[in-house]
Amino acid sequence: MDDAIDFTRLRQSGPPEGLWPAIAGELDRRRNHRFVRRVSALAAMVTVVVLAAVLVDAPAPPLGEERIASAPTESASSGVTLADLRAASARLESRLSDQRQRAVGGMELESLLWLEAELAWLDEQLAEAPADRELWRQRVELLAELNRRYADGDWRRDMLLASV
Amino acid sequence: MSLSSPIDDLVLAALKRRCRRTQERVYRQYSQPAWTLAVRLSGCEARAWDAVQSAFVLAFERVGQLREAKQFGFWLRRILVNQVMDQHRRQSSEQAEIETAAALRDQDSALDLERALAALEPLDRQVVWLHDGEGMKHAEIAELAGQTVSWSKSRLARAREKLRKQLTAGEVPARSMEHG
């Protein structure tokens, strides 16, 4: 350090008066910017959550049940047993009980009432022949159709589609 | 007061809460050494202003990353030196600095030294000030500049030689000391 330059004799100057206000102003500007960014992010998040809630509310297409319903009952090779049909019927019935709570548009109401009457008639038949696979297959098919109609007739879904 | 002076844990906690009064108090505490360092490193008050402003803003914004209150001064110094070096890198890529030759010669040796320091190449000035003025080690300087220790040593030797030559010759070109 012997070779070092002696800087101690240099005069010490203080910072200009306006420096702190400039720093405070920049800190304020960044804070405001951060606030705006957070509000925007929050608004975007709320929009995503609302959209997700509306979309999740719409039922998934009953693919498994449709396959069961369309399987020929006579053919043993189809692999669809009476137990499968009853299980599919129970699943669809459970989904249908949720669907029945939904608001339905006037256009769908008439066909839904007809299908509901059809279901009541099928249930009467099944009460007399509970092991009839063909009747169970028809019931599954009817329940799948009812689920589809209720979903399509939901006026909230119509409004959502119309707004896109 | 120097940049190595510590702050206490309560002050650090208040800074983390972004308390404006504490920020101003800490600024008042460190502004003098920070300003001196920035002016010596950049050789220009306008650039020093920018560097000090950015350094304090960054320090107050990122103080949440700092764990030990006693490290605040060293941490601030590091941020400030980085700001000056970044400025220099940006300016090097944009355009060569405009230097004005001083018509006046001053007999005051302190002013001569100041002018000689300001007349050095930015990297020479930064290395000689950080080493001889701030007492930093070559390893620290090399790390800040993103260079090797031997680079720092050779820069220092060259800077000292230039300074001495200029002071002996008494022909010190003054760099513009812009304001604002």
pLDDT in tens, B92-123: 665 544 444 443 444 466 677 888 888 888 88
**Contact (CB<8Å) A19/B163:** no
For residue B112, what are its two tokens?
């001569």
Q: Are B129 and B40 in contact (CB under 8 A)?
A: yes
Q: What is the pLDDT of residues A2-44, one digit of tens each?
A: 688 878 777 777 899 899 999 999 999 999 998 898 898 888 8
Count other C-beta atoms under 10 Å from residue B109's C-beta. Answer: 11
| Digit-coded pLDDT (tens) for A38-87 | 898 888 888 888 888 877 765 555 556 666 666 655 555 567 788 888 88
Could you give phi then psi for residue A67, rounded to 5 degrees? -65, -40
Determine whether the interchain pair A14/B35 forms a contact, defined as Cβ–Cβ distance below 8 Å. yes
Q: Distance between terminal CA atoms of chain B? A: 25
Distance CA A22, CA A58 (A): 55
Nearest to A15 among B23, B31, B40 (CB): B31
The predicted pLDDT at position A117 comes to 86
| Furthest C-alpha separation in chain B | 54
What pLDDT is recorded for position B115?
82
User: Would you state the pLDDT for residue A28?
Assistant: 93
Between B75 and B173, whose confidence is greater? B75
What pLDDT, on a 0 to 100 scale, did the predictor assign at position A70? 65
| Amino acid at residue number B47 | R
**Poorest-confidence range of A131-135, B42-46, B63-67, B175-179?**
B175-179
Contacts of A5 in chain B (CB under 8 A): 113, 128, 132-133, 160, 163-164
Give me the residues paired with residue A104 across strands: A154
